[in-house]
Chain A
Amino acid sequence: MATKKFLYVNRKAPHGSIYAQESLEVVLIAAAFEQDVSLAFVDDGVYQLLQNQDTGALGSKNFSPTYKALGDYDVSKIYVEQESLEMRGLGKDDLMPLVYEDEDDDWAEKDSIHVVSSSELADIIEQQDVILNF
């Protein structure tokens, strides 16, 4: 099967609509297709990776722990747009730690999250074959 570069662009807050949750479902299913997968979080999408989410009062499912499983699905390229974080008064420390084990480096645990500027993200977008926007 051909390998393409897939980028999933997450733009919306995690719990006001279902986009974030259903986007994550696509990413997990897509892992079985062994494509080159990257995730980008921009605009309110950066809230999807916040630590300590609690949806108890909303009565909706808190799916945020699932992001921590991405490393096990070989999803290790997670780009968060710096400007989106800054505009919301957030920094990398506010995000869940997401890691993967690098098979080319004796399974060393490495950080999956890369905070990138919008121009760096533009370059990353430019390199993709398939971009799915959620």
Chain B
Amino acid sequence: MKFGILVNEGPYTHQASDSAYHFTAAALRAGHEIVRVFFYHDGVNNGTRLSVPPQDDRNVSERWSALAEEHDVELILCVAAAQRRGLLDEDEAKRAGKNADNMAPGFQISGLGQLIDAGIQADRTVVFGD
């Protein structure tokens, strides 16, 4: 089956991102296809590479990056939501005149159209939020 995944909450404060990760990883293990993981609202904060959780805790963004590398999963941050919250890749940082970027490997910035497109392509769209 083809799944589209929407993540609406950031890491650590809410369980939504953990649940989305476990669902996505389990779906891939079971041989399903993930059309795309789309991060919206505070969900875009999953895409920072500057998060430094304590050693004995999970690293949410690194875990997503590893999943993207291993399974070639598209991880998309909504551009408008990301800009509001200071999640910038190199191009966006340059465009906005900022002196730093913070996008974790495997994440890309794109538009809300990618969410709708995932909904159209996928057999099931699963929303993880609060």
* A residues with CB within 8 A of B: 1-2, 4, 6, 18-19, 22, 25-26, 29-30, 32-33, 35, 129-134
Contacts and interface: CB of A to CB of B under 8 A. Distances in A.
Nearest to A4: B120
A129 B8 CA distance: 20
Contact of B113 (A6, A22, A33, A134): A33
19 contacts: A2-B120, A6-B116, A6-B119, A18-B41, A19-B41, A22-B80, A22-B81, A25-B80, A26-B115, A29-B112, A30-B116, A33-B117, A33-B120, A35-B116, A35-B120, A129-B119, A130-B120, A132-B125, A132-B127
B123 to A, nearest CB: 9
B84 to A, nearest CB: 8
A88 to B, nearest CB: 21
Nearest to A132: B127
Interface of B: 6, 8, 40-41, 80-81, 111-113, 115-117, 119-120, 125, 127, 129
Chain A contact residues, majority secondary structure: mixed
Given A22-B41, A25-B80, A29-B111, A133 B116 contact: no
Nearest to A26: B112
A127 B111 CA distance: 27
Contacts of A134: 8, 41, 129
B40 A22 contact: yes
A26 B118 CA distance: 13
Contacts of B116: 6, 26, 29-30, 33, 35
B125 A130 contact: yes
B41 to A, nearest CB: 6
